[in-house]
Amino acid sequence: MLVAAHEDCEEHVPFPGHPERPERYSAALEGAAAAGAGSLAVEVDEEAVLAAVERVHDRELARRLWEACSRSPSIFDCPDNPISAGSYRAAIAAVACALAAVDAVLRGEAARVFVPARPPGHHALRDRAMGFCFFNNVAVAAEELLSRSAGPVAIVDFDVHHGNGTQAHFWERDDVFYLSVHRYPFYPGSGAADEIGGGRGRGFTRNFPLAGGADDSIYTGAVAAGLEEILETAAPTAWLVSAGFDAHGEDPLGGMRVSDEGFAAIGTMLDQVRGESPLIAVLEGGYRPEALRRSVQRFLTGLAGTAVS
């Protein structure tokens, strides 16, 4: 197990009291270290990152973000996306970490890589940032894998919020299966059970909406059912995970009751279903740093096959 991280991910500094704060990055790193994960060197090549970003986003999005950061502090695209002078640099670094993880698994350096990316990404739309997200790190990684003939790809999103940006990007695609387990109805409002994809992608999107207050049994049961559907529908040769830990019972935003052990169970399930295929887990939510640290540690021990029951 390796960790693809870069210190520039701390440069995004929203206003004081904002839940998506730099402490999340250090908490996730501490959790990964406690799980025994090694370090993967990440080089930030802005030109290469922007080329990869443009497979998912309108090219004007990056330019607009760069210009807005030069006039920061301000708000970018929607009220929940405050930015600082370093927000563009952090968003570029987050994508660079995801791309480094892709390189590592395709070179055979690791079968599993954790990316403690911040800002997160799964709400980012093609031409607009939202929900604390600027670039869709997981979608960019998926497109990178596919461009290098590593597919089909499964994306498993267990963040408490539905990944509307990821779903929208792959809605009509049959080379990516998108599974989301999340609270519903809840922000951002999408993710109903009847949202299953369109065109040739019909049946390659699967949502498991859960009522608030779901505990380990309910949440992990939904993940298990979703994983079964992936294996019945597709034959993934690579797995990506939008690893959001805001369904934790201590999280200030999620309203769910998943425990540290629940995330360990999810990690174990993912390790079992991936077989010999590589898996990259990219951080999404999780807004109480101490709970995030523990959740990451337990999730990664499960993913590495070393969780204690």
Half-sphere CA count of 114, side-chain side, radius 13 A:
31
Rounded to an integer, what distance in angstroms lies between the CA atom of residue 67 and that of residue 119?
A: 17
Instruction: Mark whether 123 is an active-site residue.
Output: yes
Rounded to an integer, what distance in angstroms lies between the CA atom of residue 182 and that of residue 193?
A: 11
Burial of 70 (0-12, 13-18, 19+ CB in 10 A): exposed
Rounded to an integer, what distance in angstroms lies between the CA atom of residue 47 and that of residue 67?
A: 17
The catalytic residue among 57, 123, 161, 248 is 123
CA distances from 13 to 117, 135, 280, 281 (A): 14, 16, 26, 23
Rounded to an integer, what distance in angstroms lies between the CA atom of residue 24 and that of residue 32?
A: 12
What does the block give as tokens for 202?
Answer: 């019909």
DSSP-assigned letter for residue 197: -
Active site residues: 123
